[in-house]
Structure 1
Amino acid sequence: MSHDPSTPAIVSILAGGIAGAIEGFSTYPFEFAKTRVQLREQKGQPTPRNPFRVVAQVYTQEGLAALYKGCSTLVIGSVAKDGIRFVSFDTIKNQFKDPETGTLTPLRNLGAGMCSGVVASITAVTPTERIKTALIDDARNERRFRSMTHCIKTILREDGFIGLYRGFVGTTLKQAGATAFRMGTYNILKDYEQKRNIKQSTLTNFGNGSVAGIVTTLATQPFDTIKTRCQSSRGASTIEAFQSIVADYGIGGFWKGTTMRLGRTVFSGGILFTTYEWAAAILNPLFGVKAHN
């Protein structure tokens, strides 16, 4: 992500939104399988332990369209989430800079990422994740929801507005940690490369983003699993989700879906940051920002 303080907020929002949409759609089958693995097993229908088998099973039995159940919700959420996340990180990191040197230490980088993750969770991530997860869970058996709109109306009717914020604690912890590690790791790597005059290219952007994705996944997977259980079609409290995971799988259950989420985040991190840098490079001149060598 660009460190150029002259980048306008509108460029950060637009570039982040474009990056989020492309990343969300292109990696959605990974997200679908990860969510299925994390949800409670249905009686007599155990979920395969290998998430790749989940993809194969759903594709064989339900077709390609089933693998994209809830995708439109995720893409819409990703546009909002990443637009907000990039612009809030750009804004917040300026407040975290050392007043004397004007630079960001690795710890300040992580702090800025954590704050922007909380902002993204409150404004966009929790409700869209709730809808996406409910749609995926519902499609396994009950099939109450006819569409994304019908799902939202049903949740609002049954639980009120607060129903859209099921899993808020787990989602916010995940987003705070994920944004801190993803943005922080990416910018730490980019700072390291720039100090050593390593040329920034599509390959380095993708590589940095992929490394950031791996670090993020391993550090935040337990929060993601709790969030998924909370946001099932019928919903659950954070305590109920925690207890059900331990009861079903023990402590190791908190890392359910790690393989598939790693598969997704390696690609998503690379796609997200590469697309952001590409989109920002195109948009900056349109808003009067000159390119820097």
Structure 2
Amino acid sequence: MGCGSSKVLPESSVKNGYVSFVKSVVGYSHKIKGLDDELQNCKGTQKDFWSVVQSSGGTGTQAPSRILLPTGQDGQRHNKVAKYKAKFDPRVTARYDIKALIGRGSFSRVVRVEHRATRQPFAIKMMEVEAREGREVCDSELGVLRRVSHLNVVQLVEVFQSPQRVYMVLELATGGELFDRVIAKGHFTERDATRALQMTLAGVGYFHSLGITHRDLKPENLLYYHPGADSRLLVTDFGLASFGNRDPGGDWSMTTTCGTPEYMAPEVVLRMPYSCQVDMWALGVIAYILLSGSMPFEDDSRPRLYRAILRGRYSFHGEVSCC
């Protein structure tokens, strides 16, 4: 069973309610036309999120008469940077200055870098590809990122490849995860939720039109480009993405069971053939989280969680502020 561990939302003052706006927002998405081959053997246990966290630069005030050696967290960060710098291909370090380790996944490490000539910041996702599982995840993500170019989908800048590792240079998102903003606010207003969903749907509708299904949409995989309230939202982490096949009837056909359990659509839970609509189910779960600050389907017992998903058992009470 494919899964990724998910974060736990704190209890909130659940001012829930009026969600009719979601219907009009979901209408923004459209059905998909052309499809390609589905990538095989997607390993759902992989939780390869590269969520970018802003790193603080500098170690505090230093007296000019002496040199301060890094200590504590600064020393640990210094050691981590040095450790991962040593792993980088010389072609990469010749072009980019490695600044900080900012994320890690099952088969990857992400560092914040700066282009040596332009001083522009980027993120580099270094993926281990010697093992078959790591290579499959890398092939999936790279196959998607090489095809897409959209304001609401993370952008691939360039790629460096070696027999052991692949280095993906990506635009750097410094505004944090959508998940973190939900936690900070408790829940979104209807207006904020609508804006977040519209941006997400713009990205999802775009890659659906290319025959790509994400299969692991969740707030942790949606990143804000910058910390401001007007930041665009980026869909990231295509390690479980698929290029769907058409069956003779012209419908999507995918069968691999993968994703994060709380966001899985019923047909994935039942291990039935499914379509890109599983992404729309996940967006419905995300909409619920944005408005309530809690999850519609959540249980420590995996069988009970799946039964709740199959039965569609959830509740939504209260009112949501519009502004």
In our comparison, the structure showing a higher alpha carbon Rg is 2
Higher helix share: 1
TM-score scaled by structure 2? 0.25
More strand by share: 2
TM-score by length of 1: 0.26
